[in-house]
Structure 1
Amino acid sequence: MASLTRAVTRLAATGRQAIRSIATTTPVSGHGDDVMEKWPADKFDNHFINYLSRPEIDGWEVRKALTELHDYDVIPDPKVVEAGLRACRRVNDFALAVRFLEAIKIKCGNQKNRDTIYGYIVKQIEPVLKELGIDTPEQLGYGEPEFFVPQPEYWWEKKWYKDYGYDKQPNFQY
C-alpha cells in the first residue's frame, strides 16, 4: 500500500511517468486461478445459463457473458450453448450467434477433437438451432476460408495447408 501511495504522490508531481510505474509495480490479481477449482461444473453451467436466460438482457450483456465464457479454459456444455444461442436470438444478433459457434469450434482444438467434440455439441443443440433459425458456420460456408491462397514464403501459413487440404493437391510444394 505504501508503494501505491508513493506512486500516486509521484503522479501528482510528475504526471505521466507515474502512470507507467503504477502499471509496472502493481501485482496482477487472480494470476493462476483456475475456474474449475472455484466452481463445480454444475454451478459454473448454472451461472451462465441463469445469466443468459434473463428476459431483460441486452446485447452488451450477452456479449459480455459470451466473452467471459470464452475466456475460461473450458468448452461449454450444450446446455450453456443453447442458453447463449437463445440470448443471441432474444437480442436479435444473428452474427453473434454464428461467431459464438465459431469460437466453440476453435476451442475444440485440432481436427480430430474438432470433429468429435464440436460434432457432439452441434448434434445436441440441433433442435435449438432449427427452432431459432440459426445456421452453423459450416452451413453458411464459413467452414473453409473463401480467399485463402497459399503463399510458401510465409512460414506461419504452412500449418493451414494441411487443415484446408492444399497439401493433397498435385504439384503443390511448400
Structure 2
Amino acid sequence: MLRTISRVALTRSVAAQAPRVAVARTAVQIRNYSSEHGEETFEHFTERFVKFFDNVDDLFELQRGLNNAFGYDLVPSTSVIEAALKAARRVNDYPTAVRIFEGLKVKAGSDALFKQYMDELAPLKTQLGVETKEELGF
C-alpha cells in the first residue's frame, strides 16, 4: 500500500531538517540605465539606418538591421527603405526584398500611407525588379 504525502507536509518536514541560516538583508540600488541616453531625432534615426544598410554585406546583417529598423514605433523614411532594398539586392536575396514591402505595409498601418510610400518607391522598385507579394500572386 502506497502512502501519499502532501506537498505541504513534505515541505514542512524538509524545512524542519534544514539548518537555519541567517540571511542578511541588503539594500538594492536600482539604476536607470536608459535615462542616460538622449532622445534620437527622426533625422538621426534615418541617417543611422541608411548608413547601416549602405554597409551591409551579408544576409544576417541585413535581416538584423531590418528587425531593428522596423522594431521602432515609427514608419522608416523612404531613404531607409531604399537603402534596405538596395542592400537586399546587393546580397542577392530577393525574398527579403519582397518582405521589406510587407513590413512597410504593416508599419504604415493605413492603405493611404502605404500607397504614398509605394508611389515614391516605384522607380527604385522597377529599377531593382522587386515586386510586392500581391503582384507575385500571393
Q: Fold conserved (TM > 0.5)?
A: yes
Residue 37 of structure 2 is aligned to residue 41 of structure 1: no
Deviation at 1:61, TM superposition (A): 0.6
Paired residue for 1:125? 121
- Unaligned 5+ segments in structure 2 are 1-29
Q: How does 1:40-59 map to 2 (within 5 A)?
A: 40-54=41-55, 57-59=57-59
Which letter does structure 2 place at the counterpart of 1:135?
Answer: E
**Aligned pair count?**
108
Cα distance in 1 between the residues matched to 2:68 and 2:115: 23
User: How far does the alpha carbon of each residue in 1:75-118 deviate from its partner, in whole angstroms, 9 at most, with x for none?
Assistant: 11111110000000000111111111101101222xxx2x2110
Paired residue for 1:77? 77
Q: Secondary structure at the match of 1:38?
A: coil
Cα distance in 1 between the residues matched to 2:31 and 2:98: 37
Which structure carries more relative contact order (alpha carbon 8 Å, separation 6+)? 2
Paired residue for 1:87? 87
Q: Secondary structure at the match of 2:62?
A: helix
Cα distance in 1 between the residues matched to 2:99 and 2:63: 11
Paired residue for 1:14? none
Q: TM-score, normalised by structure 2?
A: 0.70
User: How far does the alpha carbon of each residue in 1:11-41 deviate from its partner, in whole angstroms, 9 at most, with x for none?
Assistant: xxxxxxxxxxxxxxx99965xx8x9x72111
Aligned-pair RMSD on alpha carbons?
2.3
Which letter does structure 1 place at the counterpart of 2:42?
Answer: A
Cα distance in 1 between the residues matched to 2:121 and 2:127: 10
- Unaligned 5+ segments in structure 1 are 1-25, 143-174
Quickly say closer, same or farther: Cα 1:28–1:65, change in 2 above 3 A: farther
User: How far does the alpha carbon of each residue in 1:98-150 deviate from its partner, in whole angstroms, 9 at most, with x for none?
Assistant: 111101101222xxx2x2110000111111111111012221123xxxxxxxx
Cα distance in 1 between the residues matched to 2:108 and 2:47: 21
Q: TM-score, normalised by structure 1?
A: 0.57
Cα distance in 2 between the residues matched to 1:97 and 1:27: 41
Cα distance in 2 between the residues matched to 1:28 and 1:63: 30
Which letter does structure 2 place at the counterpart of 1:74?
Answer: L
4+ residue runs over 4 A deviation: 26-30
Paired residue for 1:21? none
Cα distance in 2 between the residues matched to 1:107 and 1:71: 9
